[in-house]
Structure 1
Amino acid sequence: MTDAPENPRSETSVSAAGSPALARLVGMPAAEFASEVWSRAPHLTRAADLPRDFADLFSPDAVDELVASRGLRTPFARMAKEGTTLPNRQFTLGGGVGAGIRDQLSDDLVLREFASGATLVLQALHRTWSPIQSFSADLADDLGHPVQVNAYVTPPQNQGFADHYDVHDVFVLQIAGEKQWRIRPPVLEAPLRDQPWEQHRASVEQAAAAEPLIEETLQPGDCLYLPRGYLHSATALGGTSIHLTIGVHTWTRRHLVDALLARVGSRLMDDVDARRTLPLTASAGQSPVVSFGDEAEVVRSLVAKALQDISVDEVVDALRPSVRGARRAEPLAVLAQAAGAEDEVTVWRLRRGLSHHWEDNDGGAVLVSRVGRFPVPANELDAITKVLDGMHEPAALDHELRRRLALAGLIVPEGVRGG
């Protein structure tokens, strides 16, 4: 269901082809979601219109295991009640002999707070829970934007957080129980990460008093998409509610602006006119002061010239470190990786999520990726390039080169997945 005022199309985009993870969430072709829904309006898809439920991703048993058996520490968990985040000391303790770190989840204290109406938030499940780790990586590939995943576990008839908006898009996946959602239009359209709802608290509170744009109850298997900025609040109904929130940290035109301006600044370091000292002007009865006004047009001209000289490729290069740092490469199984590197029978494949590019290096090159820098001599450049481009399997490489690639984390054993 798309049921909101039409907004201008966002500056971000969704791949229209080959999106199996996205197809689990939206109940329509990816191209249609990209052109009609993405960044424009809320969209609710019922379980009956999706290919399967989300039981393979998360469950009540998963919550219990994470709380009781994984030694989770803050900030991988927090608790909130009636719109207020609880102090960590109310639900954490030391882990006892050999694990005395004092901010580990205490199952007893979590139970006490949960029974009194507090919502448990398990954060960054894309790092701590293997099924979500895999799915979130697939979804990030489909969307072209990095994602994070939190779980919200709310006791019956309780609301963890008051009306607010997020500075990232979200997919809400109902796992267990029922939760009533109230969606209202933005008070600030397409907010950036440095424009959180607390900066507009009065406007949010005023807007929260109006009739909801959408008021629907999510049941297990339902999925709700919300673009950043839409106000929302939710209340658990008859039983404990568990839902996953997939936060999509969208790349925006503002990111490109920042990258472009950073490159302009670097370019102007080489321009002697940009480096010149501003003149002094005498002010009656005072010491000389720096005059900025007369120089503004000179600076505008310098910036305009630098902008004309900067290519699209340079802007992409400036943004590349941020893009690479926003996600991790596919997890690898350390012991299987180390053992396989030493034999000649392991079947290898390229590691997913490397986000690599090449840099020149004294006749050879350096492969730069999310797992570091890997120098490649000229005589190995063609072979490695063919593996990276999918033209050859790692098996085509000699054993010593495969070993080095494996120990650098660039290839992983086929059929083995870390997590």
Structure 2
Amino acid sequence: MAGHPEDFATNYWGRRALLSPAAELPAAGFADLFSLEAVDELLSRRGLRTPFLRIAKNGSVVGDNQFTGPGGAGAEIGDQIRDDKVAQLFASGHTVVLQALHRTWPALVDFSTQLASEAGHPVQINAYITPAESQGFAAHYDVHDVFVLQVAGEKHWTVHEPVHLDPLRNQPWTDHSQAVADAARDQQPVVDAVLRPGDALYVPRGFLHSAKALGGVSAHLTIGLHTLTRYLLIQELAALAANEVDLRTALPLGFNPGDPAQLAPELEKVKALFADHLQTAAPEALAARLRRRTWSGNRPAPLAPLAHAAAINNLAIGTTLQARQGLNHHLTPGTAGTPGTAGTPLRLHLPDRTITFPADALEALTTALSGTPFKVGDLPGLAPEDQLVLTRRLMTEAVLVTGPQ
């Protein structure tokens, strides 16, 4: 977006919409990320299946059976995209929505990996391709923040203030559909502009928005950041409360949960017990739950299985390696053993598992996971032969990959 990143983080993130004309952005358009030619390739040659495609017109989503079918001999799966059916629908004014491009289009796979790593929030990317003078969806709000990148054509965007501030994922716009319609009709928009190729627009979650293509085919990317919230911390703290015996105590026999008079004394007990739980909750326990819940939101940089297996076999002192981009991880230091004690191992927490290493590998592991390429043999604190064992283990776990040689 236009301006300094710190200004955006302080003054716009989650608070205000921001329109950034192409002239104010450092890059000349977004052709390196996506194009209309990419749309045709995905729809005709990549064997896409649902739910990687949605089709809509005037707010109504078309049933999958209208644009899917078997893929032919050897690929009889019935939900593959039919390019001829998509062409018919698009020609009749329907909007094509390519979903989860952060998993299917190489340039956007790499872009989303880097963005998620820097932003700290899971990223998804969709593309909306709209025929001339058509509108795919009426005014609505999203439950995640959105960056709009105009790729081709022109689209008129209208953005209004929220009717429900900072909605959670279980609070969709349809819960407030009348208020959304009234605000879109009666309120002054905060953004009322035509986006052209190279323009960008930031729409915080909850802000109402709608868009209509103008004189030609329009294509834009929506980069959605699935915002992590304080409410998420409350949810996980409540889950940790299951370890509190007094909170697991059964309510009295004959209890009527719909009676406020019966509920009141139990509620007071729960408030007191939960307050004690909050006072004693350990950040380490909460972090462990959050790792399991959030780290799977984005996958790390793609790994070529055959080439990676060959690199493990060929690993030697002097090989250049680096941490796999976008792989969430956290190191918990261990303790060295003393006479008569074994100490505790160093723990490397990954999205789906935890692996252990000797405590004295901390300095070497910290360097290896820093993101800076290094040569096996140059890690601090371990002999070259021990580095070879360590890095082979990390490559086998898909934590390290080959770096620039």
| Fold agreement, TM-score > 0.5 | yes
Query: 1:371 Cα deviation (Å)?
Result: 5.8
Q: Which amino acid aligns with 1:317?
A: A
Instruction: Quote the residue 1:207 is aligned against.
Output: 183
Out of 170, 192, 213, the residue aligned to residue 236 of structure 1 is: 213
Cross-structure match for 1:319 = 290
Instruction: Report if the CA contact (8 A) 1:46-1:222 is conserved.
Output: yes
Quote the offset at 1:203 in angstroms. Answer: 1.4
Residue 36 of structure 1 aligns to which amino acid in structure 2? Answer: N
Matched, 1:247 2:220: no
SS at match of 2:376: helix
The residue correspondences of 1:369-380 to structure 2 (distance < 5 A) are 369-370=350-351, 372-378=353-359, 380=361
* 2:78 partner letter: R
- Is it true that 1:410 corresponds to 2:386 in the alignment? no
TM-score (norm 1): 0.84
Contact 1:371 1:408 in 2 (8 A): no
Deviates more, 1:62-71 or 1:253-262: 253-262
**In 1, distance between residues paired with 2:76 and 2:89?**
22
Q: TM-score, normalised by structure 2?
A: 0.87
**How many Å separate the matches in 2 of 1:130 and 1:390?**
21
Residues 30 and 379 from structure 1, CA distance in 2 versus in 1: closer, same or farther, beyond 3 angstroms? closer
Secondary structure class of the residue paired with 1:330? coil
Structure 2 residue corresponding to 1:350, chosen from 318, 323, 339 = 323
Give runs of aligned pairs for residues 101-140 of structure 1, distance below 5 A. 101-140=77-116
What's the RMSD between the two structures over aligned residues?
2.5
- 1:39 is matched with which residue: 14, 21, 31? 14
How many Å separate the matches in 1 of 2:140 and 2:300?
32
Identity %: 46
Q: What is the Cα deviation at residue 88 of structure 1?
A: 0.6
Structure 1 unaligned regions, length at least 5: 1-25, 284-289
Runs of at least 5 residues in structure 2 that lack an aligned partner in the other structure: 335-341, 378-383
- Report the CA distance between 1:392 and its aligned residue: 8.6
TM superposition shift of 1:356: 1.4
5 Å-filtered alignment, 1:19-418, equals: 26-52=1-27, 53-213=29-189, 214-266=191-243, 268-269=244-245, 273-280=246-253, 292-344=263-315, 346-358=319-331, 363-370=344-351, 372-378=353-359, 380=361, 383-389=364-370, 393=374, 395-396=376-377, 398-415=387-404
The verdict on how the C-alpha distance between 1:394 and 1:187 changes in structure 2, with shifts beyond 3 A counting, is same
- SS at 1:257's partner residue? helix
What amino acid sits opposite 2:206 in the alignment?
G
Between the aligned partners of 1:182 and 1:32, the Cα distance in structure 2 is 24
* Greater CA drift, 246-255 or 345-354: 345-354
Deviation at 1:279, TM superposition (A): 4.2
- Tell me the CA shift for residue 362 of structure 1: 8.0
Deviation at 1:185, TM superposition (A): 1.6
> What is the Cα deviation at residue 275 of structure 1?
4.6
Note if contact 1:54-1:173 (Cα within 8 Å) is conserved in structure 2. yes
The code of the aligned residue for 2:13 comes to W
Residue 388 of structure 1 deviates from its aligned partner by 2.5
Conserved 8 A contact 1:117-1:158? yes
Deviations 1:313-358 (A, max 9, x none): 4433332222212221221111110111101354211112222124
Once the two structures are TM-superposed, the CA of residue 76 in structure 1 deviates from its matched residue by 0.6
